Amino acid sequence: MGPVQTSLPMNSVIPKGQPCAVLDIKDSFFSIPLHDEDKERFAFSIIFPNNKRPNPHFQWRVLPQGMVNSPICQIMVDRALEPVHRSDLTVTIVQYMDDILIAAPSASQVDQAVSTISETLKTNGFEIASAKIKKGRCVTFLGVGISAPT
C-alpha cells in the first residue's frame, strides 16, 4: 500500500466571476515546529562514501519541506485562518498546503481579506511571500486559470 494521496480542492468551490487573489505562504513547512517527542521520527543520516567517516545523524526541528501527506501543515494553516473564515461569510477562502485563494464579490473585499489574512498568518508564525501575491481579473490557482468579469 503506497502513501496516502492528498486531494486537491474541487474547482466547484471557487465562485465563478468574482475578483480573486492568490497568496503563497513563504516556507510554510519550515514555519511549523515539531514537538520534541516527534523529532526522532524525522531523523536522517548523511552517508559518507566508503565509510571514510562516521555517519552523522540529524533531526529536523521543523516540519521538513514537502511533507504533503502530513496533516499538520493543513491543520496549522487552517487554525490560523479560522477566525478569518468566520468574520466575513461572503469571502471564499480555499487553502491547499501553502497556497490560498481568496474570492469575494468586490475587489475591495478581496484587498481587505488579503490584508486580514496576512496579519492573521503573521500572528501565527507564518509569512506571506509578498512577491508571489497575485491579484486581478485573471489568476492561476493550483494550475487552474480563474477569471473574473471585466
pLDDT at position 80: 81
Query: pLDDT tens per residue, the chain (150 residues)?
Result: 344 445 666 666 777 778 888 888 877 666 667 778 877 777 778 888 877 888 887 777 776 666 656 666 677 778 888 888 888 788 888 887 778 888 888 888 888 888 888 888 888 888 887 777 788 766 777 666 776 655
How far is CA 49 from each of CA 38, 46, 130, rounded to the nearest angstrom? Answer: 29, 10, 42
Domain spans, the chain: 11-28+67-147
Q: Are 49 and 55 in contact (CB under 8 A)?
A: no
pTM: 0.69
Q: Does domain 11-28+67-147 have CATH number 3.40.50.720?
A: no
